[in-house]
Amino acid sequence: MNEITKDFYSGYEGEPEIQFVKVSVNGDHKIIRIWSGYFDDIMTQFVPSQQGWSGLAYYYHLAIGWYEESPWQITHLDEIKTQFCNLSIENCRFDKSRAVYKEICDLLREAIENNESVLIAEE
């Protein structure tokens, strides 16, 4: 069963869409639909370390991963969740970006707790 758990895309039809998809062990999918503007707003809050970009920011800023192959499975989910969910999002331009951020963090936590996988798709 595919279930859209949160929709942050409606009203932006025709513009780029990002989906976070949690795949359960029984094959069910929980989907967060996101207008790319909210996702970009969150991703621009990352700053590179002295070693450069890491985690999802690495793939985002180099336009690889889900940009080349969609859907794309997130690897090193624990590391990605820690980095992503510790991000300071105080300077986001859109108020709704904060709600999107919370939903992504919750989805990553739930996937780790249940030993599930997470995909990112660019629609």
Model confidence pLDDT, tens digit, residues 3-61: 778 999 999 999 999 999 999 988 889 999 999 999 999 999 999 889 989 889 999 98
pLDDT of residue 1: 59
Question: Residue 16, Cβ neighbours under 10 Å: how many?
Answer: 14
pLDDT above 90 (res 108): yes
Mean pLDDT of 85-96: 93
| Cβ atoms of residues 17 and 36 within 8 Å | yes
64 is in which domain, residue-wise?
2-122
Q: By C-alpha distance, which of 49, 48, 21, 1 is closest to 116?
A: 21
Mean pLDDT across the chain: 92
| Cβ atoms of residues 106 and 29 within 8 Å | no
Give the tokens for residue 18: 């990002």
pTM to 2 decimals? 0.91
* Residue-wise burial string across 55-77, b where 16 or more C-beta atoms lie within 10 A, e elsewhere: bbbbbbeeeebbeeeebbebeeb
Give the count of domains, the chain: 1
Q: How many CA atoms lie within 13 A of 18 on its CB side?
A: 22
User: What percent of the chain shows pLDDT beyond 70?
Assistant: 99
CA angle (117, 119, 120) in 5-degree steps: 155
Mean pLDDT of 91-106: 96
